[in-house]
Amino acid sequence: MLVASSYVILWVTRILVTSHQKMILRALRAFLAFQRLGTIAAAAQEVNLSSAAISSQFKLLEEQLGATLFVRTKRSLILSSAGVRLVPLAEKMLADYEEMLLLSNTESLQGRISIGVVNSVLTGIFPAVLLRLKTDHPRLQIKIEIGNSQSLVSKVEAGLLDAAVVNKPPGPLDESFSVHHLYTDPVALIQPASMQYSSFSDALSNEPYLALDRNTWVGRAIDQFLVRNDVVTQPAWELDSQIAVLSAVRFGLGVTVLPLICGTRLDQDPSLHVVPLNGITRVVTLIERSVHPFAHLTAELIRAVVDIAGQQDQ
C-alpha cells in the first residue's frame, strides 16, 4: 500500500509542476549557480546550458517576479538587493520540490550537493565513500572541491559549499555551524624504511625534519605536540601537502610526523618505517551550516563516511 501511495504522490507532483513551472525551476537553479560561482559562463557550465540561455532565464525570472534581480553594467553582472533576498527563497523552493520527488522512493536520495574535502581525506577513504553513495543513490550528484580546512570552512560560511570534510578546527566555531565527528587518525613518526628510529625526538635530532605547513590546522597541532614534548625543530622543508611530505620521505630526504591517513595503510608500506605516537591524533569532521536545505543529503554522506572508516579499523 505504501509503494502504491508513493507512486500517486509522484504522479500528483508531476501534474502540479507544469512545463512553465519547470522553466522557473530551471531558471532558479541557474540563478543559484550564478550566485555561487559569480559569472554567467561558470553558471552555464554547471547547469549544462549556453550563456545565452542563462541570460534568457534570468530575464524570465525578472518578468515573472516583477523585480530587478541584477545590476547590469557593460562589464559586470551582480545581484541587486532583490536578487540577494531571492537566494534563500530559491534554495528553499528547490529543496522543497526535490523533497516532494523523494516521497516516491523512500530508499534513494536525489539532488545535488557541493562538498569541500581536504586532499588527505580525498586520497584516503573518500573514493570508497563516493562509490557507496553512487551505488545506493544513483540520482544523488556530489560536486567536490579540494582545499585546505580553513578556506573550505570559509566557503561553507559564505554558502559557496554545502559542507566540508576537514580537520577538526583548532577552536570552537560559532553557532551558525554544526560540526560532526567522522573518524580519528593516529599520528606517527614516518621515516624511510632504511631508518629505524624508535623515538621521534632521536629521529628529529639526527635527521632533516620535513614538516607539514604549520599554518594548516594539522600542521599547527603537530607543532604544538612537539613543543609540549620539548622537541625543538628547524624544518628543512615545510610543505602544505601531506602527500608531498610523504613523497620526500620515501626518497630518503628526511623524516616527518604525520597522520596515518585512513584508507592508505601507510603502516604496511614497505618503503616506510612507521612508529605510532601517543598523545596526538588527527580528527576528521564534517562542518556544515546549522540550517541549510540539503541537511538530509549531508546526513547520508556522514553515515557513509563513518561506516567505511569503521570498516578500515576492523
pLDDT at 60: 85
In this prediction, residues 161-188 reach a mean pLDDT of 92
* 1-106 maps to CATH 1.10.10.10: yes
pLDDT at 251: 93
Mean residue pLDDT of the chain comes to 85
Q: State the virtual CA torsion across 157, 159, 161, 166 in degrees, nearest 10.
A: 10
pLDDT at 11: 44
pLDDT at 24: 80
| Residue ranges in the chain assigned as alpha helix (H) | 2-16, 19-37, 40-47, 51-65, 81-102, 119-122, 126-136, 149-157, 200-206, 217-228, 242-250, 295-313
Distance (Å, whole) CA 299 – CA 88:
21
Render pLDDT for 104-132 as a digit per residue (tens, 0 to 9). Answer: 555 567 778 899 999 889 888 999 999 99
pLDDT at 103: 58
The DSSP H or E segment spanning 234 is none
- What is the Cα Rg of the chain in Å? 24
- The pTM (predicted TM-score) of the whole model is 0.68
Domain ranges of the chain: 1-106, 183-284
Band (pLDDT 50/70/90 cuts) for residue 102 is low
pLDDT at residue 15 greater than cutoff 60: no
| Phi–psi pair at 2, nearest 5 degrees | -65, -40
Strand 139-146 to 110-117 pairing: parallel
Q: The domain 183-284: what is its CATH number?
A: 3.40.190.290
Band (pLDDT 50/70/90 cuts) for residue 1 is very low
Band (pLDDT 50/70/90 cuts) for residue 234 is confident
